Amino acid sequence: MSQEIAVVGSPEFTTGFRLAGVRRFENVPDDEKDDRLDGAVETVLDDETVGIVVMHDDDVEELSRTVRQRVETSVEPVVVTLGGGTGSGNLREQIKRAIGIDLMDE
């Protein structure tokens, strides 16, 4: 059963989550994102103990096409993005993907 939260991003992004008690993280410094970001994301997506992956919205945009598509369609673990251009429409889609229904459906 997946129950761990993982955070992927720059050390500045992951620090707050680590202070809040998140133990699973992948630090990818800004100057190494081109080389390491895809691998770090794939590592947490393949970890069966991870149920939620948290990333910054800008980092998702920097992923390769293949990994970004995997992030956007992942159900287990669910990927939650924060910051940047995250609007209510994006959050709505994340919730719908996570639980399988649209709570705002009229």
* pLDDT single digits (tens) 23-78: 999 999 999 999 999 999 999 999 999 999 999 989 999 999 999 999 999 889 99
Q: Which residue has the tokens 């287990």?
A: 76
φ/ψ of 88, rounded to 5, equals: -65, -30
Q: Which residue has better confidence, 102 or 61?
A: 61
CATH topology of domain 4-99: Rossmann fold (3.40.50)
**3-class SS at 53?**
strand
Instruction: Please name the residues in contact with 56: beta carbons below 8 A apart, sequence gap of 6 or more.
Output: 9, 10, 13, 81, 82, 83, 84
pTM for the predicted model, two decimal places: 0.78
Residue 2 has pLDDT above 90, yes or no: no
Mean pLDDT of 83-88: 56
Instruction: Identify the band that residue 104 occupies on the pLDDT scale cut at 50, 70 and 90.
Output: low
Distances from the Cα of 32 to the Cαs of 67, 78, 86, in angstroms? 17, 25, 24
Dist CA 50 CA 82 (whole Å): 18
Supply the pLDDT for residue 90: 60
